[in-house]
Amino acid sequence: MKELYLGLHNVTSSQKLIDFSKIAFGIKHVKYLVVTKVGGTAAQSGIPEISKIAFKQNKAIIVLPDLKDAIDLIQPDVTLLISQRAEKTLDLNKILNYNKILVVFSGIEGNGFNKIEQSLGEYTKILDDVPELGPASLASFFLCKYLALINGKV
């Protein structure tokens, strides 16, 4: 059975964190919400808020200081770092070959992943000819495509 871990990295906005978590918790195929490098209001009020949401919905979250910590702990078969600034476009069919998948979105505007972080996984975009979108929007696009693919509707 496939394990999908949905990650949000480098987030400082509590609202972005809450919006992203609601998407992750709304999809039964997401095993854990993984949040790394949390700062600002996301750390102060966002983490407690999503913890309440997770508890009420019987969902699980992992909060870690850095992306590398998440990869070391989860040990995914593949780590996808999603940014519309990446040159390579994700081939979703390819990820179906993996059982444990960590998909990470950036919580900040711009590139979101520095060069060291980019080396930790496959740095890729999910949509061609679309400017940078927020993490909740990108996660929604990814999950729609992923669910269609695993349910054989693509």
Q: In a structure prediction context, what are the per-residue pLDDT tens digits for the chain, which is 154 residues long?
A: 789 999 999 999 999 999 999 999 999 999 999 999 999 999 999 999 999 999 999 999 999 999 999 999 999 999 999 998 899 999 988 988 999 999 999 998 776 799 999 999 999 999 888 777 899 999 999 999 999 988 876 5
- Boundaries of every domain in the chain: 3-150
Q: Say which CATH class 3-150 falls into.
A: alpha beta
Strand ranges of the sheet holding 3-11, from the earlier edge strand across to the other edge: 61-64, 30-38, 3-11, 100-106, 78-82, 122-124
- Count of residues for the chain? 154
